[in-house]
Every structure is written in C-alpha cells, then in structure tokens.
Amino acid sequence: MHPRERPTSRRQFLIRAGVVVGTLTGADALLSACGGSAKVAATTTGTGETGVLMGPGGIPLARRDHPVTLPLYSDNAAIDSGLNLEKGPLNLFNWSAYINPAVVRKFEREHNVKVSITTFENEEEAIAKLTGGNAANFDVWWGTVDYISRAVAGKLIQPLNHSYLPNLRNVWPSLQSPYYDQHSRYTVPYTVYTTGIGWRTDKLKKAPPDYANPYDIFWDAHPYAGKVAILDDQREALGMTLLRRHIYDINTENPTLINRAEKDLAELTSLVNVKVNVNDYTDIPSGATWISQAWSGDMAGAWNYLPKGVKPTVLGYWSPAEHAETQNDMMTILRGAKHPVLAHTFLNFMLDNQNGLENLSWNGYMPPLTACDPNTVISKGYIPKNLASTVIRESDFKKGVTIDALTTKGQSLWENAWSTFKAG
Amino acid sequence: MTRRWFWPSFALPGAGWLILLFLIPTYAVVAVAFGTFDPIFSTPVPIWNPLHWQFASMRSVLSGLEPGHAFWIVFVRTVGYVAISLAGCLLIGYPVAYYLARHARRTKGLLLVLLIVPFWVSYLMRMLAWVGLLLPDGLVNRTLMDVGVISAPRAWLAGQASSVVLALVYGYVPYLILPLYATLDRIDRSVLEAGRDLGGSPIRTFLHVTLPLSRHGILAASVLIALPMFGDYYTNDIISNSPRTSMIGNQINLFFQGGSEQAVGASLVIVLSLFLAVLMSYYLWITVRASAETKESLL
C-alpha cells in the first residue's frame, strides 16, 4: 500500500512476466516508444552553466533550494476555461490500492459518470506503459517528484487550467506552488508522507527514539537478526544510510558517498540478515518483522493488519523532526486525455477537504490539505493516538529532505550501488 | 514437387512460432544489450544494426563477473543452488519414477494423475503456500518443535539458503519425474531379465543395466529443470528476498524493473544464455553420440 513500490503479488508477477514478454516480443513497440520520445529535445543531462544540475529536455533538476518552473510548450497547451464536462468514462492510472473506492463512487454519483481505474506497481512500469502508446487510454496519472520533469519534457502530461481547480486553495500554501512545479503548472499534490522506522513496541528492549542516533538501531539489531527489514527501494534504503551519517543531500551524485552508503547497507546483510521488501504494513503487525524502515502512511494503516486481540499500541513509528525523508505524490492530467474537463473536475474533487479525509481513512496516506491536521485525524479515529508520529504537518514537511530526480549519470551510480548491495 | 513440400510444410507453423517468439525476441534482447537508452525516460533504445552496437553495458557485466565482484558472487551462488537443487530433485524424483515404471501396477494411473495434480495449481500459488508453512508459527516449525528437532522456531523465511533450495526442489521435482518415468518405462524388460538370468542381484542389475539405460533420461530431465532454475527469480523473491540468497535471475529482474541500466540486465541475459548454451551443447553432443551408437549396434 505504498506509493513508490509494491511487494511481489501474483498480479505483479504476471505484469512483470508481461513486461519481459513485451520486451522480448515487442520490437515494434520499443521502436515506436523510442521514436516518440526522440521527437522531443533530447538534451543530455549534466551540469548547466550556472552549476545547476540539468535534467531531461534541458529542464533544471528541481531541488528545495532551487525551485523549478516547468516549461510550457506551444504544442501542449492547457484546455480553455468554461468547457462542458465530458460524459466519461474517466480513466485513472494509479498505484494499486491507493485511492478509496468509496471516494471514487462518490465522484461517480456526483457527476453521473463512470470511473475506470488501471493500476501500476511502480513508476518505471507506469512510464513504460505511457511511453509505449498507452497514454491516450488514460486521463489522470499519479506521478512522483522524480518523474515529473521527465513527463513534462516528454510531453506526456498537459498544463492545468486553474479555473477548474478552486480547491487548490485547500492545499498547504507551500505546496500550492511546490519547488518541483512552481505555480502548479502541471501537478496538484495528492499525498504527503515521511520515511522513518516502524517497530514492535512489545518486542524491542530499546526503541529507536532511545538511541542517540535512531538509525543506529538497524546496525545494533543482532538479537533480532531475521526480523529486520529495509525498504526495497534504492533511493530510500541508500538514502537512510546517508542520513545516518548526517549527510542530508540524499540526491548526491558523489560516487564516494554513494559507495559508502552501499557498504553501510551491505553490513546489514552480515550483521542482521536484513530483509529487503515493502511489506512494512503487514510484516510488522504480523510479527514477521520487528524493526523496519517504513513509510508513515503504511504505519498509519498497519493497525488494520494486526491479528485479532492485538492492540495498536504494539506499533511504533519514528521519523526525525528535522531532515526526515519527506515526499509527496501528485496527480497530473495526461496530454492525450480524452476527458480533460472531467479530469480537472476530478482533481478538484480530490482536493476537497472532506474527500481528502475520507481518502486518508482508507489508505493511511495524508493529503496535504489544511483540514488534515493531527487533531482532526486522530479525533476522527483515522489513526491511533500512539501513531500520531505518522501525521505530517506542513512545518514538518518544510524541515524534511526529499528524494528528487537525478542526472542520468547519477541515476546510474545509484542503480549500480543498489545492484551491488542486492547481490549480497 | 507438391509432394516434396507436402510433409515439410507441416513444420511451417512451428518454424513460424520459433521465428516470431524466439529468434526475434532473442535478437531484441541483444539489440537492447548493445543499445542505448532514451535520454528523457531512460527506457531502453535497442540498436538493431550490429555495426552501431555499443558495448559499455556488456563490459560492465563482464567486469562484474571477475572473481570477487558482485555478478561473480551471484553467479557462483546460482550455480551452487541449482546444482544442490538438481541433486535433491534426482534423489527424490528418481525413486518415484522408478517405482512408477517398475512396480506400480494397478495404482500406476492414479499415481500419474497425482503427479500431474500440482500442475493444476500455479507455481506461484504453490510457493505462496510454502510461505504460510514456513512462518515462525507455521506448520513446519510447530511440527519440528513438537517432535523435538528444534527448540525454538527457525526463521525459514529470513534469507536462508536452505529454504530457497527446498523451494526450488519442491517446485521443479514434478517436471523431473515425468520425463524420467517415460524413459524408465521404455526400458525393455527382457534386458533386465537377461541381467537377472546372468546372475546379477537386483542391485547389480539396477546399477549395470537400469541406471546406464536411463542415463539419457536423467540428463534430459536435468536439463529440463536446470534451465528454468537458472533464470528463476520469483521463488527466491517469495521465500527469501534477502541479498544473501540473491540469484542471477534476481539481478536480471532488478535491472529490468526500470531505470537507465536495463541494457545491463539484457547483457546479463546474454551471458546467462551463453553459459546455458554450453550446457545444452554437452547434452546435445551426448544425445547425438548415443544415437550414433544405437545405429551402429543395430547394424
């Protein structure tokens, strides 16, 4: 149930198998995909004249201290204002289990349209589908910060017309014009979350907050060998080792730092036989894992997976007050959307305070809406009181660090380090 | 002329199938391995013309295959797991196939059906069932503790090589038994009777007659299960998912999941395929030699 990657399910296996078969048999698709993007300015990534890292299509890589206004293109304009709603159906392309079906049904009732949802398991899979000629089949796509500038450079998504989005005012002021998309030209935020440590309070003698450096718990967990897990996500896992060493630039492209992060992580294999998965939300409640790197949204919903009779107080979650890995996911409208007005209406619907809260009640991930303050979320019973640390305030978000897009060279460095770690 | 092409034309669908779903896809993998990637989305861009191939990814894989390096470690581990699993499959599968071919009479049909039953359930579902059995409070641990083999639950799913091998054996043993049974069932009984008539004990007859005659069956069945085992990644993913047990299939899957290094994944596929081609060549050589020997003995 998390935004970045999913555990291997039977469906995922079949999808992967399909991707492999597709790779093997889809020579034409590969060619057409390549042809499609080749039409776009294919600037090599690297460092620009001002020392700013340049991303695909010549768009600077957004950093918190270097906000980026995504470019507009004459052949990719926003829709006009005041258009009538299309009849639908509205086609959503979303992470699996990432939107409350009741909220979707509410939208269907309110606008008398059908909504169809197609899911993906990770952003790479989504991009492969969208660039493989499927973009026209969907209206709304859920993106992540590290892929948005690519999607703009590749003209996969269209600019938004804010006249259809009055609820954007409900969003935290800092995310009404986020650093990765100044003026919300192409995106509106969907959820915010932190990455921290989840644990079983009834199993550990010393909890993460009891450590001077809570990340040290992973390297000190010999008594719990086999019960320790990290997220199966290269940026998250390697990034955590950087934060442990108080290196807060988790988008570094310095090979020395990345190699050291890999070696630190590799220590966990020999020290605690670390498991690598994204099952934090089920494995901690079931007791299969006692300490895990975890996403706040997963831990917020983990109490739903506790065995009968086990109280939510057995679950703990910690993330640092400052320099926590904080992320946000976003909704975009695809350039080839057949129902762009309906898509704008849907985005606006999801930015409604009440709808946002209802969505949170199901998936555990907080929308960055002003109405979603910790008191409301806990008093309404969406999250147990002992997991209040999973709730993010705007001030927390501002103090965090984010996983941002890398240059191609940087991406390669991180991927190779991850592959070396995974080789064992 | 028409008659000349009549029977060979029956091979056309098979040939078409091979070209469409084997040769072209294989070349696509090669084109990706020696290709480049899309500068915007990092998706692979195959290069179809060999004159324009780029070898950086293959060089990266080959340097990783030097002793002590990441791919070497994974490769050696994979060979070890497959060899042990293959031995386990043979130890379990051969007696079963032998019993079916030689001693099961009225029950033969029933036993054959039972052997096919696992195929009714998908491989993935059978592996997931093992997860339930191997949990800390699962049936395996409870049984072993009840009979006093272990005093505390063993963490079977926490990156144990033994669990991965166990799962591989369990998953692939039915694929070994069936071809082995077919070979053993075809052995002429009069040959065995001759062995007995010449004073051979049952064990000597088995060692000097049955086993040599089933050698090709053993080899064929071994090839049949070893090839997919080498590329297997999902068994490991489900049962372990630890870097400590990572196999070459897991590494290929890792690279193919996305990012700008998919050409490295494709290069690994080529290296693995070449390694398996060497094993296959040995099998083919043995088969051809046996066929020639049979012809000579008939003459």
Q: Do B241 and A419 touch (CB under 8 A)?
A: no
Contact A418/A230 with Cβ under 8 angstroms? no
Whether residue B215 contacts residue B222, with contact meaning beta carbons closer than 8 Å, is answered with: no
Q: Given this model, what pLDDT does residue A132 score?
A: 79
pLDDT band at A238 (very low <50, low <70, confident <90, very high): very high
* Burial annotation B81-98 (CB, 10 A radius, 16+ → b, else e): bbebbbebbbeebbebbb
A283-295 pLDDT, tens digit each: 899 888 999 999 9
Closest chain A residue to B127 measured between Cα atoms?
A10
How many beta-carbon pairs under 8 angstroms link A with B?
163
Give B157's contacts in chain A (Cβ within 8 Å): 288
Averaged confidence pLDDT in chain B: 90
Most confident of A133-142, A195-204, A278-287: A195-204
Provide the token pair at A48. 């620009």
Q: Could you tell me which of B253, B251, B242 has the C-alpha nearest to residue A277?
A: B242
Q: Hey, where are the domains in chain B? A: 77-257
Cα Rg of chain A, angstroms:
21
A95 vs A333 pLDDT, higher one: A333
Which among A34, A411, A422 has the least Cβ separation from residue B243? A422
Chain B residues lying within 8 Å of A276, measured CB to CB: 241-243
- Which positions ≥6 away from A186 have C-beta within 8 Å? A70, A148, A151, A152, A157, A158, A159, A160, A332
- Does residue A22 have a pLDDT over 60? no
Pick one of 3.40.50.10800, 1.10.10.10, 1.10.3720.10, 3.40.50.2300 as the CATH number of B77-257.
1.10.3720.10
Overall average pLDDT of the A48-66 stretch: 80
Q: CB–CB of A209/A216 below 8 Å?
A: no
Q: What is the mean pLDDT of residues B164-186?
A: 92
Kindly report the CATH number that applies to the domain delimited by A10-191+328-382: 3.40.190.10
What is the C-alpha R_g of chain B? 24
ipTM, two decimals: 0.81
For chain A, where do the domains classified as CATH 3.40.190.10 start and end?
Answer: 10-191+328-382, 193-325+403-423
Q: Is residue A100 scored above 90 in pLDDT?
A: yes
Residue A24 in this model has a pLDDT that exceeds 50:
no
Q: Nearest CA to A59 among A152, A182, A185, A145?
A: A152
A273-to-A50, A269, A305, B141 alpha-carbon distances in Å: 45, 4, 25, 20
For residue A402, count CB atoms less than 10 angstroms from its CB and return exposed for 0-12, middle for 13-18, buried for 19 or more: buried
Residues B81-92 have pLDDT tens digits of: 999 999 999 999
- B237 Cβ under 8 Å from any chain A Cβ: yes
Cis peptide bond N-terminal to A209, omega within 30: no
State the Cα–Cα distance between residues A10 and B234, nearest whole angstrom. 10
Counting Cα atoms < 13 Å in the Cβ hemisphere of A179 gives 18
Q: Which residue shows structure tokens 């007696």?
A: B95
For residue B151, pLDDT over 50 is answered with: yes
Cβ contact (<8 Å) for B28 and A44?
no
CATH number for the domain formed by residue range(s) A193-325+403-423: 3.40.190.10
Q: Which of A225, A276, A423 shows the shortest C-beta gap to B241?
A: A276
**Which residues of chain B make contact with A135, given a CB cutoff of 8 A?**
none
Mean pLDDT for chain A overall: 86
A233 Cα to chain B: minimum distance (Å): 11
Residue A162's pLDDT band (boundaries 50, 70, 90)?
A: very high
Q: Which residues of A touch B260 (CB under 8 A)?
A: 408, 411-412, 415
Distances (CA, A) of A230 to A113, A201, A235, B241: 42, 18, 11, 11
Is the CB of residue B131 less than 8 Å away from at least one CB of chain A?
A: no
Record the tokens describing residue B85, joined without a space. 């699993």
